[in-house]
Structure 1
Amino acid sequence: MTIDLGFAWLKLPGGQEVSIVDVPGHESFIKNMLAGVGGIDAAMLVIAADEGIMPQTREHLAILDLLQVPRGVVVLTKADLVDEEWLELVRDEVAEYLKPTILAGAPILAVSAYTGQGLPELLKTLEELLNATSTRKNIARPRLPVDRVFSLTGFGTIVTGTLLDGGLQVGQEVEIYPQGIKSRVRGLQSHKQQLESVLPGGRVALNLANVARSDLARGNVVARPGQLQPTLLFDARLRLLADSGRPLLHNTSVDVYTGSQEIPARVRLLDTNELQPGDSAWVQMRLSRPAVVARRDRFIVRIPSPGATIGGGEIVDVTPRYHRRFQKPVLSTLEQLMQATPDELVLASLERRKPSRGETAHVASGFSGYLLEEIAKQSNLAQDVTQQILESLLSEGRVYKAGVYWFAQTVWEMLTDEALHLVKEFHQQYPLRSGISKEEWRTRLGLQSRLATEVFARLQENGLLESVENRGGGGSAAVRTGGLIRIPGFHPHFTAAQQQQVDQLLQLFREHPYTPPVRSEAEAMVGTDVVSALIEQGQLVKIGDGILFSHTAYSTALSKLAAYMHEHGKITVAEARDVLETTRKYILPLLEHMDALRITHRMGDERTPGTAHIGSSVE
């Protein structure tokens, strides 16, 4: 009796080779059956003619129906053990039982392994079924749900499974999920034939490099590095079997089967308090450990005790946010995702992180732009197809591109509005400052550094924002920092009363160029914000802690001290004090400032010419 998965292949009369996955029939081994039934193109439902439909037959058929396996044939085995009348009764019973399922109308063939009865007809029927099956899609995102792991002397670790969504080649780098183990394809085999490459849809054995057998298990997924993302949540449409026996309640503990994975989970019902047998609902599955799934994957749900299949469905979002229940916008979005065209899928992936108005002022992850590969992954589309769709949407004005990042047009417009609003609000709040720091702007918008650079570049190109030339905050007369941004045309402005105070303050700086008011005295005269504005504008230069000079005095002082030092080869504190006719209170911070700029080089109590020149630090 088969208790685990078996694998073989068959050559049909027309020469086509097909892979066969033999799954256990007994109800005690349904978990093993579920690990092998995913990804098949057609099913052979085997029923013994002398026994008829058994409990495990009903569960297997329910699973095939929930997985929406598109084609199948019913094989009545042991036909040599019953008479024709009994065989007809069994055939009628099976046909009636198939009517409400996806296998309604499927061929029902009587065969005997002992006499060979019906075997030619079975081969012909299988060939017809598979010829009518559409070619497996290749979206350039190969993934192999692992159903068997073993090792062979001289080869190392080998995994097998049914390859989905893309092809693989010998030598390619791969990643084993959810662990994130990196490896390389050392060899490929299908139907015991060594191959250089394989296409999706067939049984494949992968010889993996640098991976221990003990590190892998059934349920792992082999894919290209970075192309999949393990998740603890997924949104889905769940159908409860009509004969499940009782309603499914919110937060019920279940086991989820998808691909070759088996993961305990809780069912969060999003649009009802309890799901009745035979009905469907929107659910969010909260998994106990990371799963690797893709949009449109089918899954099965079983209750762990007593073990029974109760339903299954289709995944519509593999990277959702945590949803509150009974939210109409959430339910509407899920309906759209279920019915979405490729264009709509791409747009949905671009809008999935759109914040609400005002949200970005309070959260660190407000707006998101997406890279091409991210959009393709979320949309479950090939990258070249995704690129074509994006270019088409761009020409229609439905998406926006900033550098390598893509935005839904609605998201870009919201981002633009918020980006400008932050700067305008800053100008209103601090009219004496030249602009907001780029880092503060980036943080409040919730943008990553690289993305913020691209966004600002686009807004600058469009004439909506510009960089500010900061003059004097670091002590040099004209330092272009690029660290401040403003609305074009904005300039700090003083009120009439402030301007009168500024004129009086600057007059003191002119009258006492090298013994001017210190910062605390200046702030007492005109206010802290006005002094900061004068420093930012470059009219005043900050030296050390609390010492200020006018721009003219600062430039002249550096020139005089440098000239004296070059003439005499050195300069002392006392000599510098005499050159400027000032005091140690001012000259020490000024000399230390010159040391920092490498205009001077301190050696004990003396300073000699440094490596920098006045022209590189002051205009």
Structure 2
Amino acid sequence: MDDAYFTIGMAGHIDHGKTTLTKALTDVDTDRLKEEREREVSIEPGYAPLETKDGSHVSIVDVPGHERFIRQMIAGVAGIDLVVLVIAADEGVMPQTKEHFQILEFLGIQHCIVAVSKIDRVDAELLDLAIEDIKESLAGTIFNGGPLVCVDSVSGKGIDQLRQQIVFELEKTEFRDAYGSFRLPIDQVFTVKGQGTIVRGTIYEGIVQKGSTLTILPGGFKVRARQIQVHRQDKKTSRAGQRTAINLGGVNKEDIQRGDVLVASDHFLVTNTIDVSLQFVDQLSSPVKQRMPVKVHTGTSEVMGKIIFFDRNEVNRNHDAVLCQIRLEEDIVVRRGDRFILRRPTPVETLGGGWVIEPKGSKYRFGEATVEMLQKKKEGTPDDLVKDVLMKHKLLDVKQLIQYTSLDEHAVKTAVDKGVESGHLLPVTGNKYALTNDFTIMKDMVTGQLQYYHRDFPMRPGISKAEIVQSFSGQFPKRLMEFGLESMLASGAIQKDKRFLALSDFTPHLPGKWKAQMETAIGQLEADGLQVKKWDDYMVHKTVPKKETVELNAYLIHTEQAYPLTNEHIIHHQPFTDALAVLKVNTGELFGLKEAKDALQVSRKYLIPFLELLDQHKLTKRVGDKRKWVI
């Protein structure tokens, strides 16, 4: 297990021998603070390396046991993999010991060893009674039936057996993922003369490298990891599960506090509203009421907030998990699945604990519909969560999926790969993803829009790409729309005529209702040659609506059956072609107005616009007061 890194919590009531036991196991005195030595009480968590024969990298956290230091105790056990619960044989299970049971269980600690300490202070009969009392207290908890080792730290009895039991339990423990984005909840901040600001904590996930740029959240300060130490030894890297100290450049000690989180990516969300699954303690001193002030401990942070219920107004006794929300007075950094403890500020007591369903909660209506929504989120697999956020946002990259699902990077990438392989997810340009079903719906909607458009405007070539993208802007992101349209063009589902899009089998045409009258007007236009009347005059005796008259004009020009001569006149393609041929035959390489008029026999009213039209079509080119043939 050379690549395994674990943190062990040494927990228990005050004066039950945690610090002495830690020293017996590691030969390190964790009562490092002067006031701790003077009072013989652990105020802050102390840390020591434990050497094991199998090569595992293990840190022991000596967690404060006094009730007044419960905050530090919660911060200490956050991020541990195994608990050694120390209970003195001469005192047995104490009220704070039972509270520690609850906190450890709420924090999701799965592995526990009970160390019955100070066994040399009691006789065999009292030891048996203490063991029986411990077993009864553990009944009904997740630690029921767990291993129990009797030790005496002064004489050394049972220390080797405890060390062996720790190794055995760690072999069954899944060590923390080092492949996610680096995250370290800070529980200690201090300065060392000549070195600057140093933070310490247990790395929840990922790896940190010396020299890397990091961010302190929720403040958003950018810092650099100048030096990394694990148990006073310099390291180039440190990884999930390791107790680590990092010397930070670019920040002052006053800018950081316990509860801040050091991260290496922008995947992590800063939030003040969390949707949670909350399990209450078996007995509350008084009911927990709607919007009651509560104190939330998660990671190393401690924040005041209000509890929001959606299906009740109070909780007195409840054995089932309650799906609710906590609105906080300060920003915190959490991910889905993070554990928390809830405490009453006054009278001080542990109310319960649970885990974060949604780190970035919103305001919801009171009622069963909200509870059902939260239940669906709670039960959702990574595949479900990725699908749900894509249903809402339509197009996201991996970074955004990590943020919106609050899953770790590995879980998101696994879900995305699985979705792409099964065909449920579609890779889109820019390393973004969409639901294949949404993509199909979008294409069907585009097809439907074009069908209706061709029916209503049969003479138009289609809809501009920009207009289609804009028309669906409220339903689909621009990039997804553009990708979809390009896909439809590539597959032949639609066609493109200049800037216009149309169905692949569509050709602009005269509407059946007005076709005969329109064909008559077109024939008259052709017969008039270059000396055409105003366009409206061709339609004046027709019953064709004004709107259709305008549409026909645009249709003839777009299909090049006619060309615009002036704002009010158009000429038919055939007379234009005929006149072009006559003019070409009857003029030289350079010609002026007189030569053109002699050739075409039309007045300047029509001649000048016709010649300008030739220039526009790049058939001729102005040279002074003459024109030169280009063709």
Residue among 449, 452, 460 paired with 1:422: 449
Secondary structure of the residue aligned to 1:174 is: strand
Q: Could you tell me which amino acid in structure 2 is paired with residue 38 of structure 1?
A: A
1:564-575 alignment to 2 at 5 Å?
A: none
The answer on 1:201 being equivalent to 2:241 is yes
The answer on 1:412 being equivalent to 2:439 is yes
Is the 2:87–2:116 contact (alpha carbons within 8 Å) kept by the matching residues of 1? yes
What residue in structure 1 maps to residue 387 of structure 2?
A: 350
Q: CA deviation at 1:177?
A: 2.6
1:363-382 alignment to 2 at 5 Å?
A: 368-375=394-401
Residue among 36, 53, 74 paired with 1:34: 74
Is the 1:255–1:265 contact (alpha carbons within 8 Å) kept by the matching residues of 2? yes
Q: CA deviation at 1:277?
A: 2.8
1:253-264 alignment to 2 at 5 Å?
A: 253-264=293-304
Is the 2:211–2:224 contact (alpha carbons within 8 Å) kept by the matching residues of 1? yes
What residue in structure 1 maps to residue 502 of structure 2?
A: 486
Q: Aligned in 2, Cα 1:162/1:567: closer, same or farther, shift over 3 Å?
A: farther
Return the index of the structure with the highest Cα Rg: 2
The answer on 1:278 being equivalent to 2:319 is yes
Secondary structure of the residue aligned to 2:336 is: coil
What residue in structure 2 maps to residue 474 of structure 1?
A: none
Q: CA deviation at 1:296?
A: 2.2
Q: CA deviation at 1:41?
A: 0.8
Secondary structure of the residue aligned to 1:160 is: strand
Q: Could you tell me which amino acid in structure 2 is paired with residue 488 of structure 1?
A: S
What residue in structure 1 maps to residue 21 of structure 2?
A: none
The answer on 1:2 being equivalent to 2:28 is no
Q: Aligned in 2, Cα 1:71/1:600: closer, same or farther, shift over 3 Å?
A: farther
Is the 2:390–2:435 contact (alpha carbons within 8 Å) kept by the matching residues of 1? no
1:79-478 alignment to 2 at 5 Å?
A: 79=119, 81-272=121-312, 274-275=314-315, 276-319=317-360, 322-327=363-368, 335=375, 338-339=378-379, 344-354=381-391, 368-375=394-401, 387=413, 390-403=416-429, 404-445=431-472, 446-464=475-493, 466-469=494-497
Secondary structure of the residue aligned to 1:126 is: helix
Q: Could you tell me which amino acid in structure 2 is paired with residue 368 of structure 1?
A: K
Q: CA deviation at 1:467?
A: 4.5
Secondary structure of the residue aligned to 1:73 is: strand
CA distance in 1, matches of 2:322, 2:557: 64
Q: CA deviation at 1:196?
A: 1.7
What residue in structure 2 maps to residue 473 of structure 1?
A: none
Secondary structure of the residue aligned to 2:488 is: helix
CA distance in 1, matches of 2:229, 2:532: 86
Residue among 604, 615, 621 paired with 1:581: 604
Q: Could you tell me which amino acid in structure 1 is paired with residue 389 of structure 2?
A: R
Secondary structure of the residue aligned to 1:89 is: helix
Q: CA deviation at 1:259?
A: 1.3
Q: What TM-score comes out, normalization by structure 1 length?
A: 0.76
CA distance in 1, matches of 2:262, 2:577: 66
Is the 2:295–2:343 contact (alpha carbons within 8 Å) kept by the matching residues of 1? yes
Secondary structure of the residue aligned to 2:302 is: strand
Q: Aligned in 2, Cα 1:394/1:113: closer, same or farther, shift over 3 Å?
A: closer
Secondary structure of the residue aligned to 1:412 is: helix
CA distance in 2, matches of 1:349, 1:429: 40
Q: What TM-score comes out, normalization by structure 2 length?
A: 0.74
Aligned residues: 569
Secondary structure of the residue aligned to 2:351 is: strand
Deviations 1:464-517 (A, max 9, x none): 3x3532xxxxxxxxxx23xx3332223344324544554566578764859864
Q: Aligned in 2, Cα 1:236/1:154: closer, same or farther, shift over 3 Å?
A: same
Q: Could you tell me which amino acid in structure 2 is paired with residue 485 of structure 1?
A: L
Q: Aligned in 2, Cα 1:147/1:394: closer, same or farther, shift over 3 Å?
A: same
Q: Aligned in 2, Cα 1:304/1:507: closer, same or farther, shift over 3 Å?
A: farther
CA RMSD of aligned residues (A): 4.6
Q: Aligned in 2, Cα 1:51/1:557: closer, same or farther, shift over 3 Å?
A: farther
What residue in structure 2 maps to residue 475 of structure 1?
A: none
Deviations 1:326-361 (A, max 9, x none): 455x65665565455xxx422431233426xxxxxx
Q: CA deviation at 1:13?
A: 6.0
Q: CA deviation at 1:227?
A: 2.4
CA distance in 1, matches of 2:350, 2:477: 45
CA distance in 1, matches of 2:49, 2:143: 23
Deviations 1:386-434 (A, max 9, x none): 5565444444443333443333343333333333333334444544443
CA distance in 2, matches of 1:308, 1:176: 31
What residue in structure 1 maps to residue 31 of structure 2?
A: none
Secondary structure of the residue aligned to 1:352 is: helix
Q: CA deviation at 1:535?
A: 5.7
Quick one: percent identity of the two aligned structures? Answer: 28
